[in-house]
Amino acid sequence: MRVDSYAFLPRSFRAMYAEPPRVAGHDEPVWAPFEKRLAEAKVALLSSAGLFVQGEQESFELDRERSEPGWGDPSWRAIPSATAQGELGMAHLHVNDTDTMADHEVSLPLRALDALVDEGIVGASAETHYSVMGYQATGLHDWQQSTGPEIAARLRREDVDALVLAPT
């Protein structure tokens, strides 16, 4: 079975997504081999749902996007692995947040990852997981200059072996 990538887009929007322009410098394969046993590996999650820890972190900036529709907040949030259901907020103007707020696992499956660790399938859940807000300005300058390097540095600092990304 092959997934229909445009199943949930209106027909008039499909042309905007099919074969979009590649960002400068991202036109060659990149590959980091996975060399550990999965049962010994520490895994982190990254969601683009615009998640943040309520009461501890600022929401992603939405007012500026409302006044500048071509701009999206390029910052990121560190989500502790022990974050419980109900502790996350979601700031993303392009998707309905009802289901992720009702069940964070829809976008950031921390408990599912814990279960894989408990069963010995994955070695460990990273201390920190991540969220960005997926709607970004053309060129992705800030993601390339700050968000990407900062997340990569933190992954290395916490000895994370692999990252599961989930675009919203």
Partner 1 sequence: MPVLARFVEASGVPTVTVTMMPDVADWLLVPRIVGVEFPFGHSFGPAGDPVVHRRVLETAVVVLAGATSFGTRVDIDHEWPTSRGEAYKSWQPAAPSPIVQMMLDQRGTRSASADGEDVGGVPEACDSPRGVGR
Does 55 interact with partner 1 (rule: CB under 8 A)? no
Residue 125 binds partner 1, judged by CB under 8 A = no
Candidate list 56, 84, 139, 157; residue touching partner 1; CB under 8 A: 139
Residue 152 makes contact with partner 1 by CB under 8 A: yes
Site for partner 1 in 5-24 (CB under 8 A): 5-13, 15-23
Q: How far is the CB of 90 from partner 1 (least distance, A)?
A: 9
Number of residues that bind partner 1 (CB under 8 A): 94
Distances (CA, A) of 148 to 18, 43, 118, 144: 25, 17, 30, 5
Q: Does 112 bind partner 1 (CB under 8 A)?
A: yes
- Assess 91 for contact with partner 1 (CB under 8 A): no
User: Minimal CA–CA distance to 108: which of 159, 44, 18?
Assistant: 44
Cβ-based burial of 2 (10 A; exposed 0-12, middle 13-18, buried ≥19): exposed
Q: How far is the CB of 127 from partner 1 (least distance, A)?
A: 15
Could you tell me how many helices (H) and strands (E) the chain has, helices first?
6, 7
Q: Give the sign of the dihedral formed by CA 125, CA 131, CA 136, CA 139.
A: negative
Closer to partner 1 by CB, 55 or 67: give it.
Answer: 67
Q: Judged by CB under 8 A, does residue 166 bind partner 1?
A: yes
